[in-house]
Structure 1
Amino acid sequence: MASENTRKWAIIPEPNSMTVGEGTVLLPYAGRVNESIAIGDGDFLLAHQLVADIRSATGTDWDIATGDMWSGFIRLRIADSRDFDSQDGGTAGAYTLTINTDGITITGCDFEGVRNGVQTLRQLIRQNGAVLPELQIADAPACQIRGYYLDATRGRVPTLAWLKQWADKLCLYKYNQLQLYIEHTFAFDGMSETWRGSSPLTPADTLEFDQYCANLGIELVPSVSTFGHQYVAMRTQELRELGEFPEDADRPFSFIERMRHHTLNVADDRAFAFSAQLVDSYLQLFRSKRFNICADETFDLGKGKSKQEAQRVGVAALYATYVGKLCEHLSKQGREPMFWGDIAIEMPEILETLPNNVTLLNWQYDPEATDEKIQLVAKAGAKQIVCPAVWGWNALLPRIDDAWNNIARIARYGIDCGAEGMLVTDWGDFGHVNDPRMAVPGMIFGAQYAWNPAGDTAENDLLERISRVEYGDCSARFVALLRNASAQAVFTWRELVEYLELDDGTGNCNTDVAQTIPCLADRLVDHLSDCGNAMTVREARNRMMRNMATTIERIPQANRALQQCMVDIAPIAAHMGNPGITAAVRIAMEGQLLLNRVGFALAEAHDVRDAHDAGDWRPSDYRALARELECWCEAYAKEWNATSQPSELHRIQETVWKAADELRRISK
């Protein structure tokens, strides 16, 4: 029997119990899948999934049938009372899979269980073709809710075709819930000023995608901002008066300010009418009874138009009252409210006011997070779902180590504290520069740990398994090389945006932006008191770049290492037969090489010592670098179109062009 170390195939998530025999089983060249009608798979999608993978892996065409009059080498069935022991207890999503010379049988506790067993078999067929190992699996998920949260609003709106591909992939790794994050990118009636130019999703898109997900056994849960993160809506002519700071509505667009402003003025009765209208129209498009009202990061609450009311009742009460009204509004319509837990955790008195049917989405993104906040919610008796992250935001390459540490840790905390499940988040933030395909390793981490968080799975082992199962990489090195490449990101998209947006457009420092940069936030007040003047953009950029001096000196070495990663990964990618991911990875790596060179050039321009002490290494002529950036941006735009609508691609292009213009300016 092959050991774990020598076996050339893997299953993700790793089953709880698996016995592998010494023999193999040859799939017949003209076989059949018999799927029981009792499963409830009306279109026999599960059988069709298997037939499609068998055709792809072996080139042979199989038949599909149902009923006990038809034989089937692969048999899909629903369990009876004798099929699962008391340990499984008929857990939703549980299944058994047996492969022997008599054929293949998948028995599920319910539809989801059969679906999960089919996904395990599909992974084996994809890796082994017509010759499968003899084995027996008994498996069940640790988390009943295994969800994925995809940002579809902060710059990138996926195409419906790509969303379906992503749902297919979530199904393969046994996810059973998906949420799309929406702020302004949905075509609500009467709100065209808000969604214009954003390539918004439509009701027709949602109805079609909801049905598609349901067929895959995935619950599509509506999620829309109803409180904070109203930046675009609160900048319109029609809605700005509902915000805390309507006087700021005409400020120049800023990626960073979008993350921090604007919040609804909930002291105004019109705010609730606005939120209720969003909720009421959106929920009608989904079959799910759950609804996520978001309500996170209400940074402006009680600071602008609602300041007087906040002083009267308290910010916590103002928040709790508004969220409570929205939850009650949903409950009256038979819905189960969900919202992000950051504000409630900061103000624990809010936890005591939550209705019983409300679920708190407890996001913790620190790779070294403790269980303190998860324990806090558990002790308050509130229902919660724990939410780690794939760590892709604000970067061209995914931070795979951070994702693994965060997801593995949070999954275990969630199980220990009795959480109802896990929702893995995938954010875009500053224009969503991160290609959504880069999130696949993090997504698979989430699949593994939501299913089996107690398993002793080392990161390197999981990276090898992902390389084999997801990418078809026989060397099992692809994801590790991607991780190594991401470690060479010294000057990232985040730093570039911060550097550029420190300019408020008049030559002065944008203090809202500066307050988000730790090395500047502490100096703003001191600078004003020292010299009596506001900090200029030049002074702010000087301080920012000099604060990066110890990292800037890494850039020559980092770029050499990144170039070596590109050399090492190229032949592996060539044999994977996936030109889409090959192109996406190449563009991301080339982009990071350029960003590092831009960071080095800016450091030189600001007289950072370590940039001058780097020997012969230089980012090349600044004007030539500017041209390289612009050419790269065109290639990046083509890859954007592979997954996404035009949406806000222009904002990323404009940022790159500003960087190129800055390089030309400093070259003088």
Structure 2
Amino acid sequence: MIRILPRPQHIEEREGRLLLDYHCRITMDSSCPSEVFFYASQLAEQLKKSSGIELLIDRRTSGAHKGIVLCMSGEAGITRENKKEKEAYRLEITPEGVTVCAAEKEGLFNGVQTLRQLIIQYGSSLPCLYIEDYPELSVRGWFMDVTRGRIPKMAYLKELADRCSLYKINQLHLYIEHTFLFDGLSEVWRDDTPLTAQDILEFDAYCAERNIELVPSVATFGHLYKVLRTKTFHELSEVEEAEGTAFSFYERMCHHTLNSTDDRAYELVCRLIDEYSPLFRSNLFNINCDETFDLGRGRGKERADEIGSHVMYVQWVNRVCEHVKALGKRPMFWGDIIAAHPEAIKELPEDVICMTWDYSPTPREINVKKLWENGAHQYLCPGVQGWNQAIHQLDNAYENIKQMAAFAHKYDGEGLLNTDWGDFGHFQHPELSMVGIVYGAAFSWNSDIQEKSAINADISVIEYGDRSASLVEVISHMSNQAVVNWGEFVRILENCRYQVAEREVTAFWEKYDEQTENSQKQIEFCNEAIRNDMAKVSALLVGIEEGKRKYIAPILHMAEGQILINTMFGVIKNVHDGQQNPCIDKRALAEAFEIWYYEYRRQWHKISRESELYRIGELIFWLADYIREL
């Protein structure tokens, strides 16, 4: 079976095979610009890694060297009528050699990625075939939160860019609230490990080489928790919290919106945009502006009573968009607030991009349709379903991304931007995001969407080198065994510790009483299922490509973390219900969580800066002490 992700628009399997050996070369014909040398180098490196064969790269076409030819020509049956055609390519493998041809370098890059996937599976003995391919959506993007707990190291960001580009992802956003070394904001980032201008410049160039547009993305309205808790900027908050209020993961999600009636807030936002935008070659700027829950409820209430909070929202977004446009950038913003008044999209700049999101396994079509009817330029934005979790919810990710991609195809979406948030400290390990990222890449490229079991098998083989093609299906089953997820667990702990997650303790627990009836039996059942799936994954390791095994260890570690969360939840719930479970040694359980956190910290530091790891540690240590005293 030939596995290619995304699936090509047209593929013909033919008889015969091509055997590549040291006589062969990778030849760039005279039509190729200098950037194509990097593409040729990718092929040479992949062939060496997958087969041990080392091919020379050449530009001389006078000799008759068998092997791989990269060419750019409009005569190849590929034209550049629009942006989609710009990324089209043709790939042909015969017993005499491989030809990858495109009208533009972006298309040639895509063809090379397809060939790399074939080399991953077949090494130097390639099946003969013919492919004509192009994307149906111009933008296939990935949005990564690097601000609310976890800031990846530069080496890991580059590795992720490499992995994304293999699946023809061509846009990437790094979401920033406070984790950039902004001038004059040391009070905000002083306890963090922020990205620097040099980091951005370096990563922007790295992405560009791989046909990925790095888009600046800064919170400019809501979600400014750390900024608006400082002594300098707290007066700019719509609703100001009491001085000395303890940090809360839950409260960080819900409040801290700028006061749009204060010109100082607008001046701050403009200063951030002006400082950040010159670092990017992209002509886009993502101003975010989502979940402005407090708008018009505090300092701006008088204005909201006069004109309505929705009008205040549109006025602010319009104002920020105009500033972005004055810098020569095209603005983007999240569509959750404006969806209640879709006609208001006409009051914003004509070219603004509305990022319409819905993370449900059954997302609502109505918001997408109404915005489309009002002329909105839309990115459809599903999610990889990792936030709030120990193990990404892969079944939900598949359904959510599939449906949102279908909406994008149906309602003329400019692209699909797959999101990866860091709610509640970015507890999840980023590794399993790759499954959702590939779902998004595949479904945005080709509207003929694969069944879940089929694409999971393809991902297992191509991404993880799993000869059994079963790895992702096993992990998907394991991901469904959370009695409570990390986000719910944090709310329970903060309720016990601060009583901030819910004001009414009784009402708070009623939800979990309904959700976890016969909870102890459920916990034991789910934990046993996780252990069985962990054993299956471990058994697969011997058949997984050696270089990919490092990706599996953190998945197994997070699975053990879910077992501990399930068990801890059972203990806390028993206390709440006035019951005891003598079978559980609470001191041993507390120690097990501390030992688990030691390994969690090791895994974190392999790929992430220190960031806000300490906040997760503080919560786990408090929990361990709390459990010991029960």
Q: Under a length normalisation based on structure 2, what TM-score does the superposition of the two structures give?
A: 0.96
SS in structure 1 opposite 2:217? coil
Matches within 5 A, 1:301-340: 301-340=295-334
- The farther-off stretch of 567-576 and 127-136 is 567-576
Matches within 5 A, 1:443-592: 443-455=437-449, 457-503=450-496, 505=498, 509-510=499-500, 513-514=501-502, 535=504, 537=505, 539=506, 542-550=509-517, 552=519, 553-576=521-544, 577=546, 578-592=548-562
How many angstroms apart in 1 are the aligned matches of 2:534 and 2:379?
A: 38
Query: Could you say which residue in structure 2 is the equivalent of 1:12?
Result: 5
Task: Return the offset for 1:309.
Answer: 1.6
Query: Could you say which residue in structure 1 is the equivalent of 2:90?
Result: 96
Query: Could you say which residue in structure 2 is the equivalent of 1:387?
Result: 381
Going from structure 1 to structure 2, the CA distance change for 1:426 and 1:156 (only over 3 Å counts) comes to same
CA RMSD of aligned residues (A): 1.9
SS in structure 1 opposite 2:92? strand
SS in structure 2 opposite 1:471? coil
Contact 2:460 / 2:466 at 8 angstroms: preserved in 1?
Answer: yes
Contact 1:234 / 1:241 at 8 angstroms: preserved in 2?
Answer: yes
Query: Could you say which residue in structure 2 is the equivalent of 1:531?
Result: none
Task: Return the offset for 1:224.
Answer: 0.4
How many angstroms apart in 2 are the aligned matches of 1:318 and 1:495?
A: 33
Task: Return the offset for 1:130.
Answer: 1.1
Matches within 5 A, 1:57-68: 57-68=50-61
Does 2:559 correspond to 1:595? no
How many angstroms apart in 1 are the aligned matches of 2:492 and 2:336?
A: 28
> How many residues of Structure 1 are paired with residues of Structure 2 in the alignment?
626
Going from structure 1 to structure 2, the CA distance change for 1:84 and 1:247 (only over 3 Å counts) comes to closer
Going from structure 1 to structure 2, the CA distance change for 1:86 and 1:302 (only over 3 Å counts) comes to closer
Task: Return the offset for 1:194.
Answer: 0.6
Does 2:628 correspond to 1:660? no
Residue type of the alignment partner of 2:252: R
* Cα distance per residue 1:207-246 (max 9 Å; x no partner): 0000000011100000000111110000111111111123
Unaligned runs of 5+ in 1: 1-6, 515-523, 525-534, 613-617
* Cα distance per residue 1:288-347 (max 9 Å; x no partner): 000000011111111111111222222111111111111111112211000101111123
Does 2:132 correspond to 1:167? no
Residue type of the alignment partner of 1:180: L
Residue type of the alignment partner of 1:550: E
Q: Among residues 83, 102, 118, which one is paired with 2:77 in the alignment? A: 83
Residue type of the alignment partner of 2:328: G
Residue type of the alignment partner of 2:593: L
Contact 2:79 / 2:86 at 8 angstroms: preserved in 1?
Answer: no
Residue type of the alignment partner of 1:568: K
Going from structure 1 to structure 2, the CA distance change for 1:234 and 1:148 (only over 3 Å counts) comes to same
How many angstroms apart in 2 are the aligned matches of 1:325 and 1:90?
A: 32
Going from structure 1 to structure 2, the CA distance change for 1:245 and 1:139 (only over 3 Å counts) comes to same
Contact 1:30 / 1:61 at 8 angstroms: preserved in 2?
Answer: no
How many angstroms apart in 2 are the aligned matches of 1:54 and 1:91?
A: 28
Contact 2:80 / 2:86 at 8 angstroms: preserved in 1?
Answer: no
Matches within 5 A, 1:211-226: 211-226=205-220
Task: Return the offset for 1:547.
Answer: 3.3
Going from structure 1 to structure 2, the CA distance change for 1:90 and 1:370 (only over 3 Å counts) comes to closer
Query: Could you say which residue in structure 2 is the equivalent of 1:286?
Result: 280
Query: Could you say which residue in structure 2 is the equivalent of 1:199?
Result: 193
* Cα distance per residue 1:627-650 (max 9 Å; x no partner): 000000000110111211010111
Residue type of the alignment partner of 2:3: A
Going from structure 1 to structure 2, the CA distance change for 1:551 and 1:172 (only over 3 Å counts) comes to farther
How many angstroms apart in 2 are the aligned matches of 1:551 and 1:389?
A: 31
SS in structure 1 opposite 2:152? coil
SS in structure 2 opposite 1:431? helix
Matches within 5 A, 1:45-56: 45-56=38-49
Query: Could you say which residue in structure 2 is the equivalent of 1:3?
Result: none
Contact 2:218 / 2:287 at 8 angstroms: preserved in 1?
Answer: yes
Contact 2:314 / 2:344 at 8 angstroms: preserved in 1?
Answer: yes
SS in structure 2 opposite 1:641? helix
Q: Among residues 93, 109, 117, which one is paired with 2:111 in the alignment? A: 117
SS in structure 2 opposite 1:550? coil
Task: Return the offset for 1:546.
Answer: 2.4
Contact 2:53 / 2:124 at 8 angstroms: preserved in 1?
Answer: no
Task: Return the offset for 1:485.
Answer: 0.8
How many angstroms apart in 1 are the aligned matches of 2:83 and 2:527?
A: 54
Contact 1:478 / 1:573 at 8 angstroms: preserved in 2?
Answer: no
- The farther-off stretch of 272-281 and 26-35 is 26-35
How many angstroms apart in 2 are the aligned matches of 1:504 and 1:470?
A: 42
Q: Percent identity?
A: 39
Residue type of the alignment partner of 1:563: R
How many angstroms apart in 1 are the aligned matches of 2:394 and 2:252?
A: 26
How many angstroms apart in 1 are the aligned matches of 2:318 and 2:66?
A: 54
Query: Could you say which residue in structure 1 is the equivalent of 2:612?
Result: 648
Unaligned runs of 5+ in 2: none
How many angstroms apart in 2 are the aligned matches of 1:87 and 1:291?
A: 26
Query: Could you say which residue in structure 2 is the equivalent of 1:270?
Result: 264
How many angstroms apart in 2 are the aligned matches of 1:647 and 1:656?
A: 17
SS in structure 2 opposite 1:104? strand
How many angstroms apart in 1 are the aligned matches of 2:349 and 2:33?
A: 34
Query: Could you say which residue in structure 1 is the equivalent of 2:134?
Result: 140
Q: Which runs of 4+ in 1 moved over 6 A?
A: 85-90
Task: Return the offset for 1:183.
Answer: 0.5
Query: Could you say which residue in structure 2 is the equivalent of 1:25?
Result: 18
Contact 2:393 / 2:479 at 8 angstroms: preserved in 1?
Answer: yes
- The farther-off stretch of 410-419 and 652-661 is 652-661
Residue type of the alignment partner of 1:24: R
How many angstroms apart in 2 are the aligned matches of 1:96 and 1:249?
A: 63
How many angstroms apart in 2 are the aligned matches of 1:591 and 1:619?
A: 20
SS in structure 1 opposite 2:616? helix
Task: Return the offset for 1:139.
Answer: 0.6
- The farther-off stretch of 138-147 and 489-498 is 489-498
How many angstroms apart in 2 are the aligned matches of 1:443 and 1:573?
A: 22
SS in structure 2 opposite 1:149? strand
Going from structure 1 to structure 2, the CA distance change for 1:241 and 1:86 (only over 3 Å counts) comes to closer
Task: Return the offset for 1:543.
Answer: 3.5
Task: Return the offset for 1:619.
Answer: 6.4
Contact 1:84 / 1:90 at 8 angstroms: preserved in 2?
Answer: no
Q: Under a length normalisation based on structure 1, what TM-score does the superposition of the two structures give?
A: 0.91
